[in-house]
Structure 1
Amino acid sequence: MTRQLSEGVKSNLGKLGLCGAAMLDPTGMAAGLGIAFSGKDIAEALLALGIAGLGNSPDKSKPHSSVERLKYHLGHEARFDLDADPATSDAVEAFFNEAVLDIAFPQRDFSRFRDALDHTQGLNAGIADAMLRRLPGWDGLETGAQALSHKILSAAVGFAIEEQKAHPQLFQSCFERLLANDRAHAESQRLLHEKADQQSAHIAEMLALLRAQNDPLLQSAISDAQFLSLLESFAAQDLPREQWYEALKSGIAGDKALIAELSRKTNEPPEVDRLRQQAAEALKGGQSDTAEALLDRLSQIDAETERDAALRRAQTRAQMGQINLNRARYEDAARHYLEAFEAAKPHQPDVAMGYGYSAASALEDQGRIFGGTALDQAALFLTETLLPLIPRDTSSSAWASTQNLLGIVLSTLGVRRDGQSGIDALNRAQAAYRLALEVYTRKDFPIDWAMTQNNLGIVLRNLGARLDGQDGIDALTEAEAAYRQALEVRTRKDFPIQWAMTQNNLGIVLQNLGVLRDGQDGIDALTEAEAAYRQALKVRTRKDFPIQWAMTQNNLGIVLRNLGARRDGQDGIDALTEAEAAYRQALEVYTRKDFPIDWAMTQSNLGPLCGSLFDKTGDRQPLSRGIEAVEGALEVYRSIQSEYYINKAETLLSGLRARAAN
């Protein structure tokens, strides 16, 4: 049961030297003492040790700051260097206060603390060093400030060791834990270095692939440094590798547009243009952090009016948002765009609307790719803040695009939520898309109309998978109609990439309808789904779009497997054989090394397919292939501890083994 530390326990933490171990491993200390340490508890305890528990002086005329109290109680002794220059003392004070809070503790016997100065051993210094290096801000301190901080904490540890002699067993346990945590810290550093090496290898692989294909993306980069900085950022953010290529394209284009914007002369003071130009040069050189820092300085330059200052701040924050967006740092991008939105809203609401849209879009990227609460934040912001700001009568296009974005956010939320909550989100997404289509008519906005029809098809397809009986079939039928309408504008000639994507989506919904329908109606829908996937593969070739090619091959395998199960005789066997070939083609891209989850799911798909081949042919070889495939998938599912897929694979494997044994 979690309980807060009493004042007595906090005091004892300082006396027994436990706070060092508590800071390094609060969870482990909780196990030893039966106490749950909050961050504030640890901060207070560490401060007690760091400044030797120097509480508020009973004499109110005496100094109260941490360093000044040390001077008062210890005297101005040269060996402690407490008469350091004011800047060093201030830095130490700020460091302790910033790192561990300035909390007052009961008065202690400081004479023994002073005595400990004469008996500080290497052990004390080692513990102090280990503690200080884990405090935020330590690396940023000047050498003199680090030295003074180290002496203060080292002496404090010495005092604590003197005090603990009455409790040797407890201190020994604490010290052993401290050593264990140093080993754990070393291991965590090793893992960090290992991850960095892996990231470097991924970057090298991506560069080698692009160079081998002489990809035009390499020539489109502003500089090698800028190109590399994007890749390094993607690796650091753990952006899925299958998204790197598209992220590179948008990142390069975004940087180019931002550099052009920053390079333009303004009518503002020369210092403004100078900082803008420096930020542009930093971006060209791949120094995005430097560019951000320059833009931050730019936002703080005085302007003639409050309005000008606010708009400059909004513009620079939006530019900082763009820098982060280009590097897949979506949370940081959203934060900067929201700051830009708030700064511009009182002065230029129409400009603020654009910043708000960018913020919500960045949150959607963050939530869709990395999970967390970003999608909920985006839905709330769009619904309660941004849409009420946009007048439909005078800004109809902006209003419709924001409704479309809300639909995208709610659609993803609906897929991720279970039960009625998910269905409700999907219905809200459907409503948002239909509102957008009131403005995005085929006549006035054909491209936007087709895009929104495709999005509506996606949400209706997901609703169809959730709803029972005729309601589900009706939703899928509406989804089919939406996709077919989108294809009237998204032709292969004019929009090949979007055409292929919509053909793939149409294939999925027809496949779902085929599974739900009985008899010839079901076979007809599955046959149409097969045709849609084969159409998509005319554009989604392995050479040009390897990831999308593999995904569509996997989808083709699923529909052929269903057709094989429905068709009799050789027709059924042929369909199942084609399905296995499609899965194995997908696995040429979905390798276990690069796409372990997709690899495992495709291997899982091979299991029931091979079982169906055995049923139709009596040949036992497909069973062996199916067992091998599902065993491999199960290894991956266990490695990621996915209970749902583990149970599903174990059930499938058990069935295949039972049939092989008979």
Structure 2
Amino acid sequence: MIQRISIVLLLTGIYFAGAPSKLHAFNDRVDADRCSMAAGGDISHNDIHYVCGIDPELFRQLAKHYKDATASLIERTEEQKQLLALLREKLKLNERQIAAALEAAGEAGVPADRIGTKLIEIAGRYSQLLEQLAQGQDKDPEIAQKKRLVREAIDGGDLESAEAILNEIIAIEDRMLDLRALEAAETRAQKGDVAMLRLKYLDAAKSYEAAAMRAPEDYSDEQALYQAKQASALYEDGEEFGNRTSLIQSIRLGNAVLGILDKRTNGANWAATQETLGNALQILGEREANSARLEEAVNAHRAALEEFSRVRAPLDWAMIQNNMGNTLQSLGQLEASPTRLQEAVNAYLAALEEYTRERVPLDWAMTQANLGNALANLGELEANPERLHSAANIFQNVLEEYTRERAPLDWAKTQANLASVLRSIGELEGSSARLQDAVNTYRAALEEFSRVRAPLDWAMTQNNFGNALKSLGEREGNAAPLYEAVNAFNAALEEHTRERLPLDWALTQNNLGSLLTSLGRLEDSPVRLQEAVIAYRAALEEYTRERVPLRWAMIQNNLGNTLQSLGELESSPARLQEAVNALRAALEERKRDLVPLDWAATQNNLGIALKSLGEAEDGPARLQEAVIAYRASLEETTHDRVPLDWAMTQANLGAALQSLGERESSLMRLQEAKSAYQASFKVLEAIHGNQHRTYIKAQIVAVDRLIQTHIHDR
């Protein structure tokens, strides 16, 4: 019997598009680094490129050197001196500023692989802050002169003139009070800017809030702009430190600011606020698997494009197109929507019209990687090998820019993305060679992704490495890759804890359950299958139907498959009925018009469970239901669309018709079974190394004997 498990999802966004880019008016698959977008001031792309390529270990050693209060200039290594000279040149910072930045990164717990990014951000903020401090406001000198005029008017007995002049002074003093309040507000905002330099985002948000409160009531635009900076700081805290409350507060503030700013007179800041709002909504929507949040994010990005047109601000326009592509891709994955994924592809292609390799190579590589992810997701959803091969080619091109020597972590992320595509191609085409390529490519990525250096990237890659090993072990009937996959999933769970990343934890539990099911079938082990059931049920505690209906349905489908195998192994009709119930529950969300191939896969699996239950019971009813389920599956699982899956479902249909023919003593059923087996064998015969051909050939011989016996008996 050939059983087909629903496509196991990779971690959402695995390395997906990273933190969205930010405008300076106030950043499954690999997240393009936002290092290239972090800087302000006059830091060039080439200088950014240099800093991003520096070995994180050198940053870590230099930070440790400055932390040691007894260290002196003489004690520095030659390598450290060279690094300091390079940073002074590229970042336009002096040594004290570099030391303060490294200290801030250490206190904030920034991983070594992100210190270069943070140094670039801080350098840009230093430039902006120093410029602001150089533009202090002078006090109005008119009052002294006017008071002399008042005295003269009184001496001359012109009280009416004195009163008029005093009214002028009052007006000036009121203006001066407002100016003093604005100066006080600006000082508080500058304190927030310093906190941003130190990566203390919550402290910065408090200072910006104080600035907004200190600004006079009549200065609503100034209040709004300080609130916009507060929203941006809260977004940074939420994105970088996983603080959900900060993201929610950032969204609330962003909406409030947009209710104050007039787009006609303050268009740039209005658009920048829309973009910050879109970024916060995207991150929160991804983490909560909330399509409504992601829809709001798309609307915010589109609103920002109304102001940042391609003609007026081409690079900002491209940045927003890229960010909108990220949001549409997340929405497409969550809703299993090819339309949304195609919209994401279109947005990335638009961004690449301005983000050319010659003009901004890092932004080009980042957007190309995101385009590759979107095409890969679209190819998996549509079972389209052309999409998958296009994605693989894109990642190969990105690796020309992200070389291992120049940008080791970006190289590793791109290798991991390429491996995911190779795995999908191997599964779709039934190719062990492609699956082995995927395994080897994941191993290469893990040479750079150490747990200490990049813990979350390491965990995500371990998870996907486990998926590739599982597919290879299943295809070859080899337990060794499956046991290695167990180790990979357990390693991923060391970082993907339920407390820290509940949805990633749940997805890894699902993948572990799928793997344990494969081992249980290979070894005829009820213990392994029971462990798989436990893993699936744990995943369902986070993947609830209300929260993520399609992923809930995916796990119900996989749980049903495992219960079917366990029911057969234990000869338990009760287990088989549980399997039927789980698969029918999955079909309540896996609707044909929404996710046709997933619907077809679950119909196939329902047929398997019904056939097993029918063979354990008397009467033909369950077997007849199994035949109906297989034929329903074949309405979407067509020969032209997914030939391998079509062949497997035909074989399953043949098995059900054979059992039904024997039970009903029906020559017609047996002949239909033979036709189904022969159709399956014809396809599988052309696939080198397919392990199911021998089984199906034997079934053709067996059913032919039954046909001949039936004819003879008549």
What TM-score, normalized by structure 2, do the two folds share? 0.54
Aligned to 2:64: 204
Tell me the amino acid that sits aligned with residue 583 of structure 1. Y
In the alignment, which residue of structure 1 is the partner of 2:463?
604
Residue 397 of structure 1, CA deviation = 2.4
Offset at residue 426 of structure 1 (A)? 1.1
Q: Aligned partners of 2:374 and 2:65: how far apart in 1?
A: 36
C-alpha contact 1:627 1:656 (8 A) present in aligned 2: no
Q: 2:303 is matched by which residue type in structure 1?
A: L
For 1:205 and 1:575, the matched residues in 2 are separated by 47
Amino acid at match of 2:252: L
The change in CA–CA distance for 1:240 and 1:499 in structure 2 (over 3 A counts) is same
Question: How far has the Cα of 1:487 moved from its partner?
Answer: 0.8
1:524 to 361, 386, 389: 386
Aligned pairs (5 A) from 1:419-498:
422-468=290-336, 472-498=337-363
The 1-side partners of 2:66 and 2:340 are apart by 41
2:202 to 317, 331, 354: 331
Aligned letter for 2:401?
Answer: V
Alignment of 1:197-596 (within 5 A): 203-204=63-64, 211=80, 214=83, 216-217=86-87, 219=89, 220=91, 222-259=93-130, 261-262=132-133, 267=138, 305-344=176-215, 346=217, 348-370=219-241, 371-384=243-256, 386-418=257-289, 422-468=290-336, 472-518=337-383, 522-568=384-430, 572-596=431-455
Deviation (angstroms), 1:258? 2.5
Paired with 2:266 and 2:310, the residues of 1 have a C-alpha distance of 18
Following TM superposition, the consecutive aligned residue runs of length 4 or more in structure 1 with deviations greater than 6 angstroms are: 199-202, 205-210, 638-641
Q: Which residue of structure 2 lines up, in the alignment, with residue 292 of structure 1?
A: none
Counterpart residue type for residue 595 of structure 1: A
- Residues 360 and 381, structure 1, Cα contact 8 Å, conserved in 2: yes
Cα distance in 2, alignment partners of residues 444 and 211 from structure 1: 43
1:634–1:649 contact (8 Å) kept in structure 2: no
Provide the C-alpha distance between the structure 1 equivalents of 2:60 and 2:400, rounded to a whole number of angstroms: 35
After the TM superposition, which of the residue ranges 642-651 and 422-431 deviates more from structure 2? 642-651
Q: Supply the distance in 2 between the matched residues of 1:582 and 1:539 (Cα, whole angstroms).
A: 18
2-side partners of 1:523 and 1:362: how far apart?
43
So what's the TM-score if we normalise by structure 1?
0.58
Match of 2:488 in 1: 629
Counterpart of 2:253, as a letter, is: F
CA deviation map 1:512-558 (0-9, x unaligned): 1111113xxx1011111112222222222333333322222211111
Q: For the Cα contact (< 8 Å) 1:630–1:653, is it kept in 2?
A: no
CA offsets 1:178-222 (integer angstroms, 9 cap, x no match): xxxxxxxxxxxxxxxxxxxxx997932999998398372255464
SS state at 1:214 partner: helix
Deviations 1:570-629 (A, max 9, x none): xx3332233223212221221122233322321222223123333445565534543443
Amino acid at match of 1:484: L
**Corresponding residue number in structure 2 for 1:129:** none
CA contact (8 A) 2:60 2:112 kept: no
CA distance in structure 1 between the aligned counterparts of 2:265 and 2:493, rounded to whole angstroms = 56
Q: 1:560 to 1:248 in 2, by over 3 A?
A: same
Residue 261 of structure 1: CA displacement? 4.3
CA distance in 1, matches of 2:98, 2:174: 35
Matches of 1:201 and 1:260, distance apart in 2: 32
Q: Is the deviation greater in 616-625 or in 365-374?
A: 616-625
Q: Give, in whole Å, the separation in 2 of the partners of 1:459 and 1:639.
A: 25
Deviations 1:281-336 (A, max 9, x none): xxxxxxxxxxxxxxxxxxxxx99931121111111111101100011100111111
Unmatched 5+ stretches in structure 1: 1-198, 270-301
Closer/same/farther in 2, CA of residues 425 and 494 from structure 1, 3 Å limit: same
Quote the Cα distance in structure 2 between the aligned partners of 1:514 and 1:448.
30
Unaligned runs of 5+ in 2: 1-58, 68-76, 141-172, 525-714
CA distance in 1, matches of 2:507, 2:61: 30
Rounded to whole Å, the distance in 2 between the matches of 1:209 and 1:556 is 38
1:92-107 correspondence to structure 2 within 5 Å: none
Q: Distance in 2 between matches of 1:372 and 1:350?
A: 28
Q: Counterparts of 1:210 and 1:560 in 2: how far apart (Å)?
A: 40
How far is the alpha carbon of 1:240 from its aligned partner? 4.2
Q: Distance in 2 between matches of 1:452 and 1:316?
A: 31
Mapping of residues 86-235 of structure 1, within 5 Å: 203-204=63-64, 211=80, 214=83, 216-217=86-87, 219=89, 220=91, 222-235=93-106
Distance in 1, matches of 2:178 and 2:220, equals 13
List per-residue Cα deviations over 1:7-51 (Å, max 9, x = no partner): xxxxxxxxxxxxxxxxxxxxxxxxxxxxxxxxxxxxxxxxxxxxx
Q: Pick closer, same or farther for the CA change 1:356–1:540 going to 2, 3 Å.
A: farther
Deviations, residues 160-193 of structure 1 (Å, cap 9, x unaligned): xxxxxxxxxxxxxxxxxxxxxxxxxxxxxxxxxx
Deviations 1:78-118 (A, max 9, x none): xxxxxxxxxxxxxxxxxxxxxxxxxxxxxxxxxxxxxxxxx
Secondary structure of 1:542's partner? coil
Counterpart Cα distance in 2 of 1:646 and 1:565: 19
Structure-2 change in CA distance of 1:475 and 1:340 (3 Å): same
Which letter maps to 1:532? I
CA positional deviation for 1:647: 2.5
> Within 2, Cα distance between the matches of 1:213 and 1:553?
31
**Distance in 2 between residues matched to 1:404 and 1:639, nearest whole Å:** 31
SS at match of 2:244: coil
Contact 2:139 2:176 (8 Å CA) reproduced: no
| 1:577–1:320 Cα change, 3 Å | same
Greater displacement, 395-404 / 341-350: 341-350
The CA deviation string for residues 326-367 of structure 1, in whole angstroms up to 9 with x for no partner, is 111001111112222333353544444443322211111011
Map of 2:559 onto structure 1: none
Counterpart contact for 1:239–1:328, Cα < 8 Å = no
Change in CA separation of 1:257 and 1:597 when aligned onto 2, cut-off 3 Å: closer
Q: Indicate how the Cα distance of structure 1 residues 409 and 661 shifts in structure 2: closer, same or farther if over 3 A, else same.
A: same
- Count of aligned residue pairs for this structure pair: 419
Q: Is the Cα contact below 8 Å between 2:66 and 2:99 reproduced in 1?
A: no
Letter of the aligned partner of 1:211 in structure 2?
Answer: Q
| Residue 209 to residue 566, structure 1, CA distance change in 2 (3 Å) | farther
